[in-house]
Amino acid sequence: MRDMTETTPVELLVCTTCRRGLPVEDDAQRPGALLHKALEQAGLPDGVTLKPVECLSNCDQGCSIVLRGGPTRWTFVYENLTETEHVETIVDGATKYLAAEDGLVKWRERPEHFRKNCAARIPPIGALK
């Protein structure tokens, strides 16, 4: 188990085009880009790769992130995140996700915001018959 969690890459995708329902001037940084920037400086664990993406199509409940990690892990989409309130939450949740072979962190161990703001989870590729 240890080998698998150490070698299977985990990606943290952040929607950088998210406006979080706010009016944003063309030349202003969007909330999604600010969240991405805050996570760049947040000290994510080795093994979690932060990647910007354009639109996760969850605009009404942004900002949104995805945690995914190879063919063995469930994929999770989390929503209603802000760069001022939830950076620590995301680091905590990503760290636990990295440590879980199948990506399923025990319910009571998940950050509260993750428990209440999961947009969707998707089973691992190849897990279904």
Beta bridge partners of 15: 53
Rounded to a whole number of angstroms, the minimum distance from the CB of residue 99 to its own copies is: 20
CA–CA dist 127, 102 (Å, integer): 10
Residue with tokens 């940084």: 29
* Candidates 39-47, 80-88, 105-113, 120-128; binding stretch for its own copies (CB under 8 A): 120-128
Residue 9 or residue 28: which is nearer to its own copies going by CB?
A: 9
Per-residue contact string for residues 49-78; x = within reach of its own copies by CB under 8 A: --x-x-xxxx-----x-x-x------xxx-
Rounded to a whole number of angstroms, the minimum distance from the CB of residue 11 to its own copies is: 7
Helices (H), the chain: 2-7, 31-40, 87-99, 112-116
Backbone φ/ψ region at 3: left (φ over 0), alpha (ψ -120 to 50), beta: alpha
Q: How far is CA 53 from CA 28, 64, 69, 116, 123, in A?
A: 18, 10, 16, 23, 21
Residue 66 or residue 100: which is nearer to its own copies going by CB?
A: 66
Q: Which of residues 8-47 bind its own copies (CB under 8 A)?
A: 11, 13
Q: Which residues bind its own copies (CB under 8 A)?
A: 11, 13, 51, 53, 55-58, 64, 66, 68, 75-77, 118-123, 125, 128-129
